[in-house]
Amino acid sequence: MSLVTYETRGHVALITLRRSERRNALNTEMSALLHEAWTRFAGSQERVAVLAADGDHFCAGVDVTDASKEAWKGVPNVGVKLDKPLITAVSGWVVGAGFTLTMMSDLCVADDTTQFMFPEAKLGLFGGITASLVSRIPHKVALEFLMLGDPLPARRAYDVGLINRVTEKGRQLETAMEMADRLAGYAPLVLQTIKRATLETLPKSPAEIAYPEMGYLTRLVQSEDYQEGVNAFREKRKPDFQGR
């Protein structure tokens, strides 16, 4: 089975991460498949998309053993512009790049096992897209989350406005599909106009604007500090960053 599947349920596209044995960590193939899924959805008759995942965990972030150098292409509304609504349904760990997928969706449903985390400062890598989190939740809450890398449980995420609903364990997809079915019955042109207008109103991070045209952040991927962060992660030791 493909690592990312695309199913059509009426007017709803269900896109699913299917690498549960690795907590759905995003490798090169998955990033490319996500890009294909967003492209397909953007040009399809489906009116709403739901992004979900197999297993108990939505996404453990980037697979550092096989990370795509163009992972941004798999990020909705960055790699592919989407006029139509996107809902994420998450549970368990939602880490790093997995969090970015959630942040860049329009709505999010999380079950009460969900823990969001952004450990990039501990690993020596930052793609830049999530800087716009400060325009989505309170500034200091966003910086605490991005800089310290501590887990943010579902209830706290709901309280600060990061997600829309918290469900009982395992009911996140059911709830997300119910929301999607409702949206699919509304006027598509109105929903598309609302989305375009709100995205134009919402401030964007420099990387979110520039990724399709610029590659200056790729130097972080090629830096000695990034390699040191990856090696330290593999060897379960504290990294020794040198600023190179």
Asked whether 108 and 87 are in contact (CB, 8 A), the reply is yes
Is 192 within a domain? no
Looking at the domain assignment, is residue 243 inside a domain?
no
Q: Is residue 191 part of a domain?
A: no
Q: In this predicted structure, what is the pLDDT of residue 215?
A: 45
* Domain annotation covers residue 182: no
Q: Taking 60 as the threshold, does the pLDDT of residue 235 lie above it?
A: yes
Nearest of 15, 2, 10 to residue 42 by alpha carbon: 15
Report the C-alpha gap between 173 and 81 in whole angstroms. Answer: 24
Strand, helix or coil for residue 34: helix
User: Comparing C-alpha atoms, which of 141, 149, 124 is closest to residue 67?
Assistant: 124
Neighbours of 134 (CB within 10 A): 16
67: domain CATH number is 3.90.226.10
How many structural domains is the chain composed of?
A: 1
Sheet holding 115-117, edge to edge: 93-95, 115-117, 152-153
User: Long-range CB contacts (< 8 A, 24+ apart) of 39-46?
Assistant: 39/80, 40/6, 40/13, 41/6, 41/13, 41/15, 41/82, 41/84, 42/80, 42/81, 42/82, 42/83, 42/84, 44/8, 44/13, 45/11, 46/8, 46/11, 46/12, 46/13, 46/84
The overall average pLDDT reported for the chain is 93
Whether 13 is in a domain gets the answer yes
**67 located within any domain:** yes
Place of tokens 């989305």: 195
Report yes or no on 221 lying in a domain. yes
Could you tell me what percent of the chain has a pLDDT over 90?
Answer: 76
Span 74-93, average pLDDT: 96
Residue 184 lies in a domain: no
Residues near 241 by Cβ (< 8 Å), separated by ≥ 6?
124, 225, 228, 229
Q: What is the pLDDT of residues 189-226, one digit of tens each?
A: 999 999 999 999 988 887 777 776 554 455 666 788 88
More confident residue, 229 or 171: 171
pTM score, two decimals? 0.87
Residue 40 phi/psi, 5° resolution?
Answer: -60, -45
Which domain range does residue 160 map to? 4-168+199-235
Q: Express each pLDDT in 6-35 by its tens digit.
A: 999 999 999 999 999 999 999 999 999 999
pLDDT above 70 coverage of the chain, percent: 95
